[in-house]
Structure 1
Amino acid sequence: MRILLFLATNLAILVVASITLSLLGVGSVHDGQGGMNLQSLLIFCAVFGFVGSFISLFLSKWMAKRSTGARVIEQPQTRQEQWLVETVAQLAREAGIGMPEVAIFPSRAANAFATGWNRNASLVAVSDGMLQRFSPNEVKAVMAHEIGHVANGDMVTLSLIQGVVNTFVMFFARIFGNFVDRAVFKNESGRPGIGYFIATIFAELVLGILASIIVMWFSRQREYRADAAGAQLAGAGSMIAALERLRAEQGIPVEMPGELTAFGINANLKNGLAGLLMSHPPLEQRIAALRAGNYR
């Protein structure tokens, strides 16, 4: 299912981007004399960079339900489901957003996520493992954290940032590829040669890692803001208790599709340089920030 979703998303990106470029009248980015039309190149890169980011955003709810197996609570069947829906409704009112869809997804790991392009038509979901092991106050705090993501517009903000970095990764990688093709491979044909494609792919890999570091830094800052929202909506004590419980369960692998990891409350953490590519700060730092009163 995830492979099909990936293929369908990329096909949609190609179709929408091609139509957009055609409407903008953007032709070849190469001028036929070995140079590049930088204006056309920038438009080309921006279209592909932002189209991919925003198609993923607009499809995020649909993809999240199918990739995690989340079951939306249409009509609560148990007292626990009734409580969960009522709790989310209360938190949404206090945060000033529309009532989100509420879902439960199958996972032994304790986790939850929020997604959706519109703060008044979002989705918040919690794992059945969290519902089984966390106290009601802890679950409420986690839901408040996710509502904080929605109220802060984090999904849209991260998509904008991703679109910007995608654009400049593609832009500078192609300029580098064209330079290497002409200066190193001595291609004077006026058309891109093998050196262009090799150098462009290499540059995209390197620049992509650097861009991911930037995006993940913003993602970690979002987590602090969502924790602060959770503390304000559900109480600092409950938010700290929920994070403490998550820390106690760090041995349980977090089972979340890659595209949703940044929107969950919990993530597998790494140390060293790999920590620069993590979407979440260490739980110890998040707890310390709340205890220092950084939620006020």
Structure 2
Amino acid sequence: MNLVKTAMLIAFMTALFMGVGYLIGGTGGMMIAFVIALAMNAFSYWNSDKMVLRMHNAVAVDRANAPEYYGIVESLAQRAGLPMPKVYLIKNDQPNAFATGRNPDNAAVAATTGLLQRLSHEEVAGVIAHELAHIQHRDTLTMTVTATLAGAISMLGNFAFFFGGSRDNNNPFGFVGVLVAMIVAPLAAMIVQMAISRTREYSADRRGAEICGNPEWLASALGKIAEAAGRTVNVAAERNPATAHMFIINPLNGQRADNLFSTHPDTGNRIRALMAMAAEMDKSAASPAPAPRAAHSPRPSRSGTSGIPNTGGREWGRGGDKGPWG
């Protein structure tokens, strides 16, 4: 079903792209836009991961130079029943992460150095599990292709601004068509892009909590990331705003309203949903009555995470540590 929705979304974005071409140059403009849309879809399908990773200067890491980070990704991928994705590190103080790739067999997970430095081991596991959920749901292809086409439609709007008023073009609607191409069509593309991202974040949060075994880990991580992201500039994201919806938290700004124009749902709403999920899991675990345990005993993991490499509860990068990347 998710693949069908993805195909429908790509078809809609392609039609919107062709519509802008028609408003700018008539039938000829529409056909040119159609050819461009096909080429961009094909390019995005085969090269989406490389394109996005290059935009953010991501560097591939492995077990040798990032043992803890790589180990978490590997263990969680096994728990989720996914092929091992490629693992990347982004040198950026803003704590954030994203996943990309056309399918689970050709996927990549990228985290910033800020994420590994500021979050605990458990919180990092929650974030990585969220990104693996996007891969499992095949959201990464949809988000990348949508971002590419939305950016292209905005580009056509800019083209209309400079060339749409020429008397030599075949625009059948005159100046009105140029205005629509300049304003309405790019706005529609942006709305679709952002709405798609928001609806899928809740699903990835829930599945990510299931993968890592504890919703509270991801809830805590989201709170820390949102707070830090609002105070730390992500230069690469500012230069490539069309990729903002791919991150776990909006890297561009700290919008607090869950509205149509935000790239992500309100963080508070996401945390509340995860805490409600944690309460449900606690309630389920308490029936029948659990065996008593000592008051000083640490709270066990809900689903067992012994396969995830642990750092003893410390946060990476503190106390002079260089972090898991060496």
2:140 paired with 1:155: yes
Match of 1:64 among 52, 58, 70: 52
For 2:226, the equivalent position in structure 1 comes to 247
Tell me the SS of whatever aligns to 1:76: coil
Verify the 8 A CA contact 2:57 2:90 in the aligned structure 1. Answer: yes
The residue type equivalent to 2:132 in the other structure is: I
**Counterparts of 1:154 and 1:44, CA distance in 2:** 28
2:215 aligns with 236
Change (3 A) 1:269 1:126: same
Amino acid in the other structure paired with 2:224: R
Aligned to 1:52: 40
- Deviation of residue 270 (structure 1)? 2.9
Match of 1:221 among 199, 216, 230: 199
- Residue 155 to residue 54, structure 1, CA distance change in 2 (3 Å): farther
Alignment match of 2:182 (pick from 182, 185, 205): 205
Other-structure match for 2:83: 98
Q: Secondary structure of 2:111's match?
A: strand
Unaligned runs of 5+ in 2: 1-21, 156-163, 282-326
The corresponding residue for 1:141 is 126
TM-score by length of 2: 0.63
C-alpha displacement of 1:120: 1.1
| Secondary structure of the structure 2 residue equivalent to 1:231 | helix
| Contact 1:111 1:254 survives alignment (8 Å) | no
Structure with the bigger RCO (C-alpha within 8 Å, sep 6+) is: 2
Q: CA RMSD in A?
A: 3.9
Give the match for residue 276 of structure 2. Answer: 292
Partners of 1:166 and 1:130 in 2: CA distance = 28
Q: 1:164 to 1:114 in 2, by over 3 A?
A: closer
Q: Percent identity?
A: 27
Q: Of 122, 128, 131, which aligns to 2:107?
A: 122
Deviation of 1:239 after TM superposition, in Å, equals 1.1
Judging changes above 3 Å, is the alpha-carbon distance between structure 1 residues 200 and 166 closer, same or farther for their aligned structure 2 residues?
A: farther
Deviations 1:117-151 (A, max 9, x none): 12212111111011111000001111111111111
Question: How far apart in 2 are the matches of 1:167 and 1:73?
Answer: 32
Residue number in structure 2 paired with 1:89: 74
**Residue 262 of structure 1, CA deviation:** 1.5
Q: CA–CA distance in 2 between the matches of 1:88 and 1:205? A: 43
Equivalent residue number for residue 173 of structure 1: none
Greater displacement, 150-159 / 114-123: 150-159
Alpha-carbon distance in structure 2 between the residues aligned to 1:103 and 1:166: 25
Distance 1:46 1:85 in 2: 41
Please identify, of 193-202 and 127-136, the stretch whose mean Cα deviation from structure 2 is larger: 193-202
Alignment CA distance shift 1:162-1:72 (3 Å)? closer
